[in-house]
Amino acid sequence: MSPKAKLVRAGDSDDATAAYAASTSPDAHVAEPEPVVETRKKSTGEPSPFDAEEFLEANRRNRDKMRTAAAVKRAKEAARASRREAPWWKRTPAVVAEPVESEAPREDPDAATTPPVDEAATATRSRWVVPALSVLLIAALAAAGVFAYLYREADDRANAADQVNQLRPAAVESAKQYAGDLLTYDSADFGALDSRITDISTPEFAKDFIEGSRQAREGSANAQAVATALVKDAGVVSISSTEAVLIVALDQTITSPQTARDLPGGIPYQSRVKITLTRDGNRWLISDFEVI
């Protein structure tokens, strides 16, 4: 190696030695590397532990929310237990009010919030539950009463129909007999006819019929007429437990000394009468009589 190269190398070595000594000197200032700070807030939207004030405030808000949610849960469980212990007819949906926080929560659009309980809507539903159930109960009772009434009415109608059916044969037989009794007479003895009429008629009808036939009786007495009625058939127009209306068909024959030579068998008449019967105790009586 040349003396010049040795000199250069010696200079380099001295420079390196001087640099090392400077770096290890107590008074030397060494530039510290900048700390790498996690920027969680920027990436996740939440404060990191390095943001001291904001991190503490977020923790405080979260604790308040958890306490509020726990209080609401305890209140709901207590309400459910109370409803289970009460009788079933007194159970109504409970209204659980959310506890009021001691401090108004600070607005934080980034923080998750618990949906508020709509107390007004819940209270309105609770107020209407019992009246609605009462209305339904009343409607059910009313429907049951209507059904019971209709059942009784149907039963009464069935009983009445049975009773009418039992009375129908007696009404038909009475109408046949009474029509024949009224149209069979001897003009020489109207007293016997009046006696029969009084026996088989209501007092009002007997009086009206006897008085209304006086003029006809005078003509029959002058002709010395004798009438005989033969009943053919009878049918019911209407009938109830108190009144029956029937049509009776009969053939009537009238004989008289004045017509005996020309009509020895008498004068025949085919008569149809409508007779109304009224129930009196255990028998039917004539209340109206009309030749049709």
User: How high is the pLDDT of residue 52?
Assistant: 63
Do 263 and 187 share a domain, yes or no?
Answer: yes
Burial class (CB in 10 A: 0-12, 13-18, 19+), 286: buried
Q: What per-residue string of b and e applies to 208-240 under the rule 16 or more CB within 10 Å gives b?
A: ebbeebeeebeebeeeebbbebebeebeeeebe
CA neighbor of 257 nearest in space, from 186, 189, 191: 186
Q: Which of 67, 95, 117 is the last residue before a domain boundary? A: 117
Do 170 and 232 share a domain, yes or no?
Answer: yes
Whether 128 is in a domain gets the answer: no
Whether 8 is in a domain gets the answer: no
Do 164 and 103 share a domain, yes or no?
Answer: no
Q: Indicate the DSSP class of residue 25.
A: -
Q: Which of 85, 117, 149 is the last residue before a domain boundary? A: 117
CA neighbor of 58 nearest in space, from 79, 72, 44: 44
For the chain, the domain total comes to 2
Do 183 and 73 share a domain, yes or no?
Answer: no
> Contact, 235 vs 175, CB < 8 A?
no
Report the alpha-carbon distance of residue 276 to residue 255 in Å, rounded. 28
User: How high is the pLDDT of residue 88?
Assistant: 60
CA neighbor of 64 nearest in space, from 107, 103, 117, 109: 103
- One digit per residue, the tens of pLDDT, for the chain of length 292 reads 544 444 344 444 444 444 444 444 444 444 444 444 444 444 555 555 555 677 677 777 888 888 888 889 988 888 888 777 766 666 555 444 444 444 445 555 554 455 555 566 666 666 666 677 777 888 888 887 877 777 777 767 777 788 889 999 999 999 999 999 999 999 999 999 999 999 999 999 999 999 999 889 999 999 999 999 999 999 999 999 999 999 999 999 999 999 998 999 999 999 999 999 999 999 999 999 999 8
Domain of 72 in residue numbering reads as 49-117
